[in-house]
Chains A and B, each alone.
Chain A
Amino acid sequence: MSTAKTPQQSFAPDSVAVTGTVIGLLALVPGWLTLKPSRVAAGVSLKLWELEWGAVGLFVVLWSACLVLGLIGVKRRSIFLGILANLIIILTLIFAGFAASRLHATTTPIARVAPGAGFWVTLFAAYVLVFAARQKTRSSPLWRNLLSWSGLTVFFVLLFLGWFDSISVMQEFMGQEDRFAQELTRHMLLFGGSVIIGTLIGIPLGIWSARSRRAEKPIFFIANITQTIPSLALFGLLIAPLSALSFAFPVLREFGIRGVGATPAIIALIIYSLLPIIQNTYTSLRNLDPAVIDAGLGMGMSRMQIFRRIEVPLAAPIVLEGVRIALVQSVGLTAVAALIGAGGLGAFVFQGLGQAAPDLIILGAIPIIILALLVDALMRTVVRITRPRGLAGGGA
């Protein structure tokens, strides 16, 4: 083999990739689809070979190729590993949709076909490989992004083409399309709005704590304490005072301020978003080289000019990093807020839990995960763009 010329290039098995591959091979064994006579009835698990022998052969070949690449573990080859893993993801999605619709055609309309353990674990294993490959590859950022996002893109294309329409989650969705759009919008308004308000409060508090020794202690004390309260407890804690408030001043109800619903959720989400934003604002200002400020003052810049021309550009990427953390965290926390009647995608999850309907849970959970990933990627890009070119890793 030509790559085995130098010792460090010969055998350096990539343990993460190998583990992922083994999981992927094992995932061929459990059921890939579950056929249920109705929405909540117990189902029959169908193995991959019961669905299509050809698929078994194809996946074995692909996973074996991954195993070889993983065992060789050559860094330059990791891009091929990533491409293979993405191929597996795409094929899994295509096959699941295809097999489900073929199966569905042979049964009654109220029967449900749900993806089984084999399907989920295969996707998981393939993503383990994708991230192993992404970490090792020395390819350009474009390739890295392709590796991370092509699976999700294909998923969306297939979704809009109606490829998954025979799968139970989609049937659940088609039953309540309007409600889904509503809850999704509500979810985004809840976490987006809360973090925007949290940012507007957090940045001034962060600046204040960085400037004044006296303010620093109490601000961080309170921000830290609130962060340790479990989300469910905080939501619950807010019910009593808000109920009392709206009871005492009925006019508040006109503005939607009640013990349950969106108000306590938004308040709690704002409180949670404060710490990362305050913390990062504080750090960004405290880490500025005092000589830079001294030089600016000494040359005749006013306090305001120093703030606008020096402090803001140098601190912005770090502050935005805090906003990113707050946003990603809020996407998940908002799901919990559904428990106190705030709505959002969490409503599907809890409804599904109550009805023992796994499809409904998935209908809520998967969009939440995708939302978190998208928000994270978007904010990382924003942070990169705002980082000044003169700083290490800056420029976009």
Chain B
Amino acid sequence: MIRLEHVTKVYDITIAVNDFSLEVAKGEVCVLIGPSGCGKTTTLRMINRLIEPTSGKIYIDGKDTSQIKPEQLRLSIGYAIQSVGLFPHLSVAQNIATVPELLHWDRKRVARRVDELLELVGLNPREYARKYPRELSGGEAQRIGVARALAADPPILLMDEPFGAVDPLTRERLQAQFVRIQQEVRKTVILVTHDLDEAIRLADRIAIMAAGKLVQHDTPETILSRPSNKFVHDFVGTDRALKRLSRISITNFIRQSSSVNVNAPVKEVMAACDKCRWVWVVNDAGQLVGWIDRTTLPEGGSVKEAIVQVKPEEIAVLTSATLREALSRMLGQGFRSVPVVDDKVRLIGEVTLRDIESATAETETS
């Protein structure tokens, strides 16, 4: 889909990008990462010809981009940047409609598309379409920026630290949303970041750059488990094992867990599991409400009396969580296992610390 061949960019005496070659497949998210000044943004901007390479060729779908008029080329490439750059004098709807209008879509189609995109990025069209950029929070502005980049449904999306300028919590939400949107739209994405966690979370492949050169281009798993040289090894850091956990979904690690109904008599707790010390408690709808310590069970009493009530959102993880999130919950609560619930808080099962240990060991040796 996108192919960079021996691309070099020289400014006066500094070499920003040095003989850089890269191939990004259709529908793939490629994250360019590296220390600041490594040439990642320059590389990104050469793809839509905001910067012209000194030498080398860039092909999109086999076509040499230097043969396409820059404006024409850019109309077919979505572009989102860290500072968003929303037009302050235009409403949210007008901002999103920028490229469709440059392409002379008819009014109805533009309006429909704007609503669609606002829905896609999780903002209510009725509430947001007429707002102006200065009325938006940082996170909202970033989402509008992404919506604007996607407006004319370009097959390619270039993003330069699109979630850089917001607080960590908002950033995590935006990243999760990006993953969801990307599953829906399947664009070919090249994303620049300096945040390794973000790269690991979003990328199908990561391209690590240093001093204008490509150092390693591989899947996040491979980069974490087999860094190609000392630079990559240092760059991904000593907590590689932990980072790797954030690539692994808990789905394959959920095991059956023993649970009792909150209205059941104590005897049933004994029956539910006689080897384990803790048992999850659910209500009639199967929703997690707490847990019971078998050693503190009163003889002949009811579950209700011995239950330790919990807020599920504090101790449980969703089925879509990663092993890293599960581990973080366990450490936070001091448990050796974490309950897994579905989006209606119904208990599905649990993930144990031992499973996570074995998962780490497996990928370590592979």
Q: Which residues of the partner chain A approach B59 to less than 8 Å between Cβ atoms?
A: none
The verdict on A289 contacting B85 (CB below 8 Å), with A299-B98, A305-B102, A390-B91 known, is: yes
Extra 15 A-B pairs, beta carbons < 8 Å, given A300-B74, A388-B90, A391-B134 = A291-B85, A292-B87, A292-B88, A294-B85, A295-B86, A296-B87, A299-B98, A299-B149, A300-B76, A301-B98, A313-B89, A314-B88, A314-B89, A389-B132, A391-B89
A300 vs B149: C-alpha distance in the bound complex, in angstroms? 11
Q: Are B90 and A390 in contact (CB under 8 A)?
A: yes
Contact, CB under 8 Å: B89 / A291: no
- Nearest to B88 among chain A residues (CB) is A390
CB distance from A285 to the nearest CB of B (A): 14
B103 nearest CB neighbor, chain A only = A300
**Which A residues are in CB contact (< 8 Å) with B75?**
299-300
Measured CB to CB, the nearest residue on chain B to A387 is B89
Query: Are B88 and A388 neighbours in the complex by a CB distance under 8 Å?
Result: yes
Among B89, B99, B132, contact of A299 (Cβ-Cβ < 8 Å): B99
- Given B81, B84, B133, which contacts A390 in the complex, CB threshold below 8 Å? B133
Which residue from chain A places its CB closest to the CB of B78 in the assembled complex? A299
Closest chain A residue, CB of each to CB of B158: A298
Residues of chain B lying within 8 A (CB to CB) of residue A390: 87-91, 132-134
- Indicate if the CB atoms of B91 and A300 lie closer than 8 Å: no
> In this assembly, does A302 line the interface, its C-beta being within 8 Å of a C-beta of chain B?
yes
Interface of A is mostly: helix
Q: How many A-B residue pairs have CB under 8 A?
A: 80
Whether A298 pairs with B133 at a CB distance below 8 angstroms is no
In whole angstroms, how far apart are the Cα atoms of A165 and B89 in the complex?
52
Q: Does B50 contact A (CB under 8 A)?
A: yes
Q: Does B12 reach chain A (CB closer than 8 Å)? A: no
- The answer to the question of A174 belonging to the interface, with a C-beta cut-off of 8 Å to chain B, is no
Chain B positions 66 through 95: 1 when the CB is less than 8 Å from some CB of chain A, otherwise 0: 000001111111010101111111110000
Question: Are B81 and A295 in touch, CB under 8 angstroms?
Answer: yes
Q: Kindly state whether residue B57 has any CB partner on chain A within 8 Å.
A: no
Contact A291 B87 (CB under 8 A): no
On whether the beta carbons of A289 and B83 are closer than 8 Å, the reply is yes
Residues of A within 8 A of B84 (CB): 291, 295
Q: What is the distance, in angstroms, from B239's C-beta to the closest C-beta of chain A?
A: 33
Interface residues of chain A, those whose CB is within 8 Å of chain B, are: 289, 291-302, 305, 309-310, 313-314, 388-392, 394
Q: Are B71 and A302 in contact (CB under 8 A)?
A: yes
Interface size class of B (residues with CB under 8 A): 20 to 34
Convert B215-237 into 0s and 1s, putting 1 for each residue whose CB lies closer than 8 angstroms to a CB of A. 00000000000000000000000
Question: CB distance A392 to B79 under 8 Å?
Answer: no
A311 to chain B, nearest CB (A): 11
- Among A291, A297, A300, A392, which residue has its beta carbon within 8 angstroms of that of B83? A291
Evaluate contact between A391 and B88: CB separation under 8 angstroms: yes
B134 and A298 form a contact (CB under 8 A) = no
Answer whether A299 and B102 are a contact pair too, CB < 8 Å, given A294-B81, A388-B88.
yes
Give Cα A354–Cα B143 distance, bound, in whole angstroms.
71
B48 contacts the other chain (CB 8 A)? yes
Binary contact readout B88-115 vs A (1 if CB under 8 angstroms, 0 otherwise): 1111000000110010000000000000
Assembled-state Cα–Cα distance A310/B71 (Å): 16
Give the nearest-CB partner of A389 in chain B. Answer: B132
Q: Distance (Å) between the CB of B109 and the closest chain A CB? A: 18
CB-CB under 8 A from B72, the residues of chain A are: 300
A293 CA / B50 CA spacing, docked (Å): 12
By the criterion CB–CB under 8 Å, are A298 and B132 in contact?
A: no
30 cross-chain CB contacts under 8 A = A289-B88, A291-B81, A291-B83, A292-B85, A292-B88, A294-B81, A295-B79, A295-B81, A295-B84, A295-B86, A295-B148, A296-B85, A296-B98, A297-B50, A297-B74, A298-B48, A298-B74, A298-B81, A299-B79, A299-B99, A300-B73, A300-B76, A301-B71, A301-B102, A305-B102, A310-B89, A388-B90, A389-B89, A390-B89, A390-B134
Q: Give the distance to chain B from A383, nearest Cβ to Cβ, in Å.
A: 15
Q: Shortest 10 CB-CB distances between A and B: which pairs? A: A295-B85, A388-B89, A298-B79, A300-B74, A390-B132, A291-B85, A300-B75, A291-B83, A390-B89, A292-B85
User: A294 with B133: in contact, given A300-B71, A313-B89 (CB under 8 Å)?
Assistant: no
Considering the chains assembled together, what is the distance between the CA atoms of A391 and B79 in angstroms?
Answer: 24
